[in-house]
Every structure is written in C-alpha cells, then in structure tokens.
Structure 1
C-alpha cells in the first residue's frame, strides 16, 4: 500500500517563545558532565531546527510499544517521522494501544496512528507505510537517519538487524568500518512486566544476533508428534498451520497464511478443531489458535510506556548529543518489585551477521537413521540458527532437501522428505546450506553422525 503523508499543517516553530520546546531548549543550552564530546550549547537553535527539518526517524511497529514511541518522539521535537506496520486494528488492541478507537477496528494500524499523531502535534510530517518490513529492500532503510523499533517478533528483529548491518561496509584487510552507511537503531521490547531497550551501532557495537542467546528458544513441536500422536490442542493448531494450510491452499495457490486475517484465522480454528475431535483433544479455540501462530505474550501498558520512554530518550540523545548514548542495554523487571539494570553487551567476533562467523556449524545426530523432520526440530532449537521456515539444500550438489518457504510447487515437492532418513538425503559429514527469512542470510551446517 502506498505511504500516506500529510505535512500540510503549519510548521510549529522551535524557539524560546514556544512553550512546547522550553524544556528542550533548557537542556540544550546547558552543558554538563554527561554531555557528549560534540555537544555545543550555542548551537541549540540549529540543533532543534535540524531535529525538525532534517533528521528522519523510522518507527518500526505501531502496536502497544509503537503507539507509545510515536507519541514520545513527536512530543520530543522530531519533525519527520515514518512508521511501518503490516497489521490491522483488532478489538483486543484497544486496551493498551491508545491511539486507536473502536471505530478504527479493521483499519491499518500505521495509517490510523499517523493520523492521530498528526492531529495532536501541529507541524509534524508523519508518513505511514502499510506492509511487511521484510519486503522492503535495504536501500529503502538507507534513507533514514535513525530507526526505533517496537517489534514483538524476534524473527523480524533478526531480519532488520541483518539488513542494517549489510548497509555498513568494512575494509576486508583492516576491518575498518565505513561509517557513511551506518544507521543507529534502538530496539525496545516488552514481555508482560519485563522489558528491555538497547542501542545498536551496526558493526561497531554488539548487534542483535550477537545477543540472540539471551532470548528463550521459541516453542516448537516435533513434526512426528504433530502428524502421528498429537496430545495437546496446540499440536492440532500447529498441524493445521504448517501441514494442512500449505496442502489445502484454501485462499488460493501461493497465498501465505496471515494470522491477522479473520478469514484465515477462522479456517485455522475450524481445521484444528476437526483434527482435535478426531483425537478426542479438547480446548481448541480461536483465541488459542491466534496465540499459537502469533506467539502472543501478554502485554502490560505500563511496561510499554516505560520502555518507549527509554527508547525515545536514547533517540533524543543521539540526535542532540545532550548526553552520551546508553551502553548499551537496559532491562526492566517488574515481576518482583520494580528495578532496572544497565550493562554493556559485547560484540561476538564470530557473529554470523556482524563478525567473521563464516565457520560452518556442526550438528551431530544420534545416527543417520534420524528423520529429516527431527533434524528440522534440531535446527530450530540451535541457538545460532533458530530456524522457523527454513530452506535446505545440499552444498555440494545444490539438491533441494526441504523448503518451508517459497513457491508453492517447491514447498510441495519437498514435503515428502520430512519422513525420510537423513542418510537418504545427505552423506555423513555433508554440508547443508540453510536459509531462513528471519536470519537475513545463509548459514552452512555440517550434519554428521557416529
């Protein structure tokens, strides 16, 4: 969908005469022990003008955290803001995503959020983009000076991280980073009463992939359990999602499943319920189905507000040099009391994205008789891979082993391999090239067994 941009409102001046910016001017005209080396109090008026007219910020996500981010950044003085989100507003969003009203249900989040902010902050140029962030090319992201993300998906964060790292070149011999393509990004996240914010300078500081082990491995279900011995309602939902949907193509050949599409979710619930009845498994509901496929974690509005404030403060610090940036991770814990902790995550020299992590990973199986579906579960649990919809091919021959993503014909052609032994598909010690949209690149995996 085309972007929506309406900057027709009269500009709101950045001057001492305007009460809205009095606090900002006070901070910018007084130096202190925390100011960055390039801070200049006499240049405060120019800094605010640049904040209004020159600096372009992209907010990724317009959900619970994104709504708070848009409000904070707009009121902090950023004059050019873009927001991207692919979702539409659901009734369940209204309790915490305060930019939306009941009359907005069914409308794109990005457009509604942008319109609300535009109406409340005169002179703000805010542009809405409706669509999947992973479908945008790297050069689209290169037009922004700063990116602030309020995503609820680790896969999306990994993709964004890999994209921003790819924009930054480095000398092959000296390793010196070319900073001309560097776009700082601030990542915020919340999970119930816990949250985190971090500042990432691609290729200079620890990237998102460097710290992937800090996150719990996503819940996965063995394909053999889903197909043969389901025991939980979640098994039935996942089977309907990963097996029945690609096979049936209920909404047309090549139409990907969209968990935010009510028709898709209804089909999934009905299909999962039918399978659950077959195995006498109770508990399949529409709410459960949405929770399984979207990996929904309960959200708390106050956590979103605190984390968004931390992210906005870091954005303002980077834009004005009024203080040095966070180094580089802050965690909020509200589960037992309320406390926060700040520390610096370290860059991994062998990081697959920002380091020299081209060394193949080795996966050791119990035997060559292990089925491919079990190998897929192993790859999903591997901390350095965490595949979700992988495509596997043999490095030496190029033979396609598995495709969970891509053209429907290719996906269908490799479906039968799930029940085959690994030794039928790959020689011991052979290399698989693993790609997954979330990883933002390919990984080489050596598969061996005793």
Structure 2
C-alpha cells in the first residue's frame, strides 16, 4: 500500500443526521414480478475474524430477477411509476394493465448506461412489450452492448462520456411523442423518475433488515459503492432513519471520485473521469437529488484503485461469491478502512455487492513508487497495446490512463499529457516518465 495514497475522509459531524425512511411499497411491487426472490446475505466469518470484528455480511446482487445486478430494482419501479403517471392507471395496476396502457400510448423507454442500468431498462421494455433505446458511452465494450441488445433494445454508442450519453438520451426522449427517460441520475428539471428509481433500490434494504432480523442481529455499518449516488442516497435515507442510525461508508474508483471530491470541498462539481474496470461507477457528476442527502449523511468516504477492486474480486471468488469489480469494491473499502483505523470489536458490517461476476481486463498495480517498477509497467502496457487503434500513438491511451490512475491514487493533480508524448511513444523515455512521476512525491524536487 502506498504511503502517499489518497486518504479516507472521515466526517465525524454526521452522527446526529436523520432521514425519514422510505415505505416498503416498492418491495411489495417487486414481489409481484416473475421469479422474485430475496438475494442472499452471506457471512464472511474468516474476514470478520481477520479484522477483529463481530461480523461481515455480503448482500450479493449477482442474480436479481434473472439479471446480474441490483439495477432492475430501480428500473422496474421507476418504469412502473412513470407509466402510471403518464396514463390513467392507478398505483395498484397489474403488469398486463401497465403493458396495454403503454402500448396504447406508444410509450418507448430511453436510458443512458455503463451497462447494468440500461440492461435493466431494456428488460422492463421486453417484459411490457414496448420499445427501448439505450445510449452507451464510448468506453462500453461490445460484449456489454450485446447483453443490452439481447434484451431486445436498440443500443446506440456515443462518442463521449457517461454524462454526455445521459444528455443525448434525455434530448432524444424529449423529442419523441411517448418517449420516457428512465434514468437513475437527477439533473435540473428531471427529478421525479430518479426519486422513484431510488425508492426501488430500497427493496434490497428492506430485505437486509428482514434477513438480519432472522439472525437476531443488528448491523452497525453499511458500505456502498457510488456512481452517480442514487443507491447511496437510498442507503443514507434508509439507514440514517431514527430506527437505524448506523454508519454509512461510500467507495468510488480513484479515477471517478466525484462524491469524494465534492464532500471534501463542500461543493458538488463535475469532473472528468479516466477509464476504470469499475464501469458502473465511472461517473463524473453526483445526481442533483442525491448530493444534499449524501453531503449530510455519509460518515466515511473512500476511493480505491482498479487493482484493489480486482484483488477484492479474487478474494470473494475464493469464498464462493462471484462478483464484478463494482460489487467487490465494498470489500476493498472495508480492508482499507481497517488498515487506517481499527474498528470496534462489536462492529457488524454489511457490504453491498452490487453486481455478479463479469469479464474485465486485469489492471496493473498503481501502488508501486519505485521508478524501475513503474518503468517496467509502462513498458508492458505500451507493448501490449501498441497495435491498438489509438488516434495519437499506439499504446498512448493505455499508458496515459495508467499514469492518470497512479496520480489519482495519490490525490495528485493531473493534466492531459498527449502533447508531451507526441506521436511516437515507442521512442519516448518511459524510464524518464517514471522518474518524473516519483519526483512528484517529493515537493522539494519540484515537478518534472
């Protein structure tokens, strides 16, 4: 572990914060869906003993209504409420009634996604026998796009970021009669549907309450991954209610730490992200409705590297739990927390594992601070990517992404370096780049 890494942000003044709890209406709705079953709450007894605490439990969302993510909880309830609101139906409408009303009014669903949310919206469109059009950012791979289109949706790849894809999806939905944007991030003028999606996520939290009740046990901390902040908003609203009042820890990628940086400055501001294997967390803007709640209700905020997420995936695999990097992020965050501050022995932690196992490229470790080791990593990245179709130089994007991730891991400011590297990266002094990176850790040496 690097001694210079970005520090965990502890927020001691959150203890008195309280939020009214959502009702369990969404859970009752989900119980009517085909193949509904609560997802498992799995104890990690060995990890609890290792950390010296009472219990660690993983809420594993690897198979939720036949999809590999919790996202269907929000997408289904958000879609249901949005169609009810747009038609003459009532809140107790059945799925066949919902489908008939949607088809009569030519309703079509739109969304932007890094993967699981869009697939969930497409799933709902298929269930209701209506059209769906899903926009994905440039970073989404073809295999993920195929999973979305496999649900029957039209998939449109955009050239920009996730935030750009959200705006394209919103404009398109607004321009088409019957168009409905089903998005889990709120922005000015678009707040109601995201609030319903957040209500949908609370079904998972009500399940957790019941599962702990069966064990006669009470959690004292929950760790949740953060993308745009909608799931975290549901978690804070639920677990800061007077009947719970437990600590909430959030975790984000080093390279997409929009909530972490906003909490530190006290101001919600968008940022540019760098590619991460935690695709669903690769978001540069906190949802406008989530921000005020997270600002007041998050106790601990941490960021992790892709390599730490990968290591957590491997650990969960050794415990018989299949998880992707987004889902395993909470494990990495808990380990990081305990390395920084030992927990009380009575602590009982819930780790939200938000996705099942999926393929991803094995990341390089950004914790090394040895110039020789960094140089070897940069050379390996370059050689393994020099045939890639970069627009600047073969392997440049992958090398630049590693450098950006290395800097973000240490909370160091980064800038685009394409102009410096030029068009012939193969002749560039990668050892010199490595030495310059390490020199940033010694302020007296200045920036090279």
TM (norm. structure 2) is 0.26
Structure with more helix by fraction: 2
Structure with more strand by fraction: 1
TM (norm. structure 1) is 0.25
